[in-house]
Structure 1
Amino acid sequence: MRRLGRCLAPLVLLATPAVAEDFDPASLDLAALIECRADVPAYNGFALWLAGEPGAVGKLGWKEVAAGNPFLVQYELPTKIRAFGRETTSIVFSATGPMAVLDGVAAPDLARELDVPATISTPDKFLGEKVIVESTEDAGGVNLATRITLNVSTVESHPGKTLAGCSYALDVK
Structure 2
Amino acid sequence: MRCPGRCLVPLVLLAAPAMAGDFDPGPLDLAALIECRVDVPSYNGFAVWLAGEPSVADTLGWKEVPSGNPFLRQYSLPAPVHVFGRETGAIVFTATGPMAVLDGIAAPDLARQLDVPATVSTPGKFLGEKVVAENTEQAGGVSLVTRVTLNVSTVESHPGKALAGCSYALDVK
Q: CA–CA distance in 2 between the matches of 1:47 and 1:71?
A: 15
RMSD after superposition: 1.5
Q: Are the counterparts in 2 of residues 12 and 48 from structure 1 also a CA contact under 8 Å?
A: no
| Deviation at residue 134 of structure 1 after TM alignment | 1.4
Q: CA–CA distance in 2 between the matches of 1:93 and 1:156?
A: 16
Q: For each residue in 1:115-158, what CA deviation from the matched residue of structure 2 results, as whole angstroms up to 9, or x when unmatched?
A: 00000111111000001111110123221001110000000000
Check if 1:55 corresponds to 2:55.
Answer: yes
Following TM superposition, where does structure 1 have runs of at least 4 consecutive aligned residues deviating by more than 4 angstroms? none
**TM-score w.r.t. length of structure 2:** 0.90
**1:125 paired residue number:** 125
Q: CA–CA distance in 2 between the matches of 1:19 and 1:131?
A: 27
Consecutive unaligned residues in structure 2, runs of 5 or more: 1-7
Q: CA–CA distance in 1 between the matches of 2:35 and 2:64?
A: 21
In the alignment, residue 69 of structure 2 is paired with which amino acid? N
Q: 1:138 to 1:152 in 2, by over 3 A?
A: same
**2:11 paired residue number:** 13
Q: CA–CA distance in 1 between the matches of 2:19 and 2:141?
A: 22
1:1-173 matched pairs, under 5 angstroms: 11=9, 13-14=11-12, 16-17=15-16, 18-53=18-53, 55-173=55-173
In the alignment, residue 99 of structure 1 is paired with which amino acid? M
**TM-score w.r.t. length of structure 1:** 0.90
Q: For each residue in 1:28-80, what CA deviation from the matched residue of structure 2 results, as whole angstroms up to 9, or x when unmatched?
A: 11100000001001100000001104520110111111100010000000001
Q: CA–CA distance in 2 between the matches of 1:157 and 1:166?
A: 19
Q: Are the counterparts in 2 of residues 74 and 93 from structure 1 also a CA contact under 8 Å?
A: yes
What is the SS of the residue equivalent to 1:44?
helix
What is the SS of the residue equivalent to 1:156?
coil
Consecutive unaligned residues in structure 1, runs of 5 or more: 1-9
